[in-house]
Amino acid sequence: MNLIRAEVERLAARRFVQLMVVLLAFAFAVTAATTLAGSHQPSASELAQAQQEAMAERREMEVRHANCLAREQGAPPPVEDYGYLPGDCSELDPALRDRLPVTADYLNGVFTFTRQAEPLLYFLVAFLVLFGFLVGASYIGADLNSGGVVNLLLWRPRRLAVLGTKLGTLLGVTLAVSVLASVAYLVTFWIIAQVAGYPGPTDASFWTSLGAIWGRGLVLVLLATAVGFAVAAMGRHTSAALGAVAAYLVVWELGGRIVLEILQAARPDQLMLSTYVGAWLTGEMTFWDNSACIGDRHGQFGPGLAFGYCDGSYTLGWPAALAVLLLLTGGLTAAAFAVFRRRDLI
């Protein structure tokens, strides 16, 4: 318990951590201020007009769908021209749309919480991932480099316990900062929407969806923190983690992707970590596999071809993404502990 207290104090006293918290607050303040400055509370007439426009758009969609169905059943074409009607009427079915037009879509210069909470949350998660990774890497990297770990081991000569306490403390503090920051962030924008914007229709599904992104975002922050810590611990320096990430991004995500495309490898996205990060954060991601619809030299087509129509898309869900991310983080962390256990501290 004493060690945890000391580590929390050590972490909180670090200049880099303080700087990152200030940057977080600054980014938060700038986003909130610009949102506040660029938004106004809609008047009753603006709101009424936007509601009418949204309703009219929904009605038009229903009419077009009804016309399409009527055409399928052999009815004469309508007097009014509704333009092109697709062969498959389900494409026009409003019930199958991801989302229907809502009032907020027709409010100009108005911050609408239900429309913008999601992208705002993604931005915050991205910042917190960066925060966690850098703080995690610098916390152990600077400690190993400055002799702090050696000093501590002279007091507590249990290497795994010391490293484990450091990682546990780091994850705990990062989680606390992330929860506090994200709650403060969302509450602030909710208040902005109330006083200088439009909250939008916040039903249970909205909050469930936002909560799921928030929860997955927090897990991603913790994973990034652990990866930063583990790589810096193995490399004995903060820059080891930064270098490893830069090298991975340039060599694999950029160079590897190009090479895989040249080689026409099947589903190259599946080999990229960014794919799993995206799939985890959004819950599901759909990718296109070029090779599925390309014929080989014998004229045989890939597995996507069916009934003359080629669908090369494939989907990655959050469970697979979580498994990959956990495997990577767990592997790196286990390696860091194994290396630290046997390492000569000179």
* Residues at the contact surface with another protein, assessed by CB under 8 A: 2-3, 5-7, 9-10, 13-15, 142-143, 146-148, 150-158, 342, 344-346
Any idea how long the chain is? 346
Contacts 24+ apart (CB under 8 A), 183-191: 184/28, 185/28, 185/120, 185/121, 185/124, 186/117, 186/120, 186/121, 186/210, 186/214, 188/28, 188/32, 189/32, 189/35, 189/111, 189/113, 189/116, 189/117, 189/120, 190/113
C-alpha–C-alpha distance, residues 103 and 97, integer Å: 16
- Of 51 and 145, CB closest to another protein: 145
Taking the least distance from each CB to another protein, the nearer of 3 and 163 is 3
CB of 244 to another protein, least distance (A): 19
Identity of the residue, 20 or 128, whose beta carbon is nearer to another protein in the bound complex = 20
Cα gap 192→334, rounded to integer Å: 44
The distance of closest approach from Cβ of residue 248 to another protein in the complex, given in angstroms and rounded to an integer, is 23
Q: Which is nearer to another protein, 147 or 330 (CB)?
A: 147
We find the least distance from the C-beta atom of residue 165 to another protein, in angstroms, to be 9
* Nearer to another protein (CB atom), residue 11 or residue 85: 11
Task: Give dist(CA 246, CA 234) in Å, integer.
Answer: 16
CA-CA distances (angstroms) from residue 63 to 51, 110, 212, 269? 18, 29, 35, 40
Number of Cβ within a 10 Å radius of residue 161: 11
| Nearer to another protein among residue 149 and residue 181 (C-beta) | 149
Cα–chain center distance at 42: 31
CB of 50 to another protein, least distance (A): 54
Which is closer to another protein, CB of 112 or CB of 165?
165
Work out how close the CB of 1 gets to another protein at its nearest, in angstroms, rounded to a whole number: 9
Question: Are 67 and 138 in contact, with CB atoms under 8 Å apart?
Answer: no
- Write the DSSP assignment of 192-238 as a string of letters: HHHHHEE-----HHHHHHHHHHHHHHHHHHHHHHHHHHHHHHHHTSH
Q: Provide, rounded to whole angstroms, the least separation between the CB of residue 159 and another protein.
A: 8
Distance separating alpha carbons of residues 125 and 146, to the nearest angstrom:
31
Residue 5 CB, shortest distance to another protein, in Å, is 6
Minimum distance of another protein from residue 138's CB (angstroms):
12
Query: Which residue, 5 or 59, is less far from another protein as judged by CB?
Result: 5
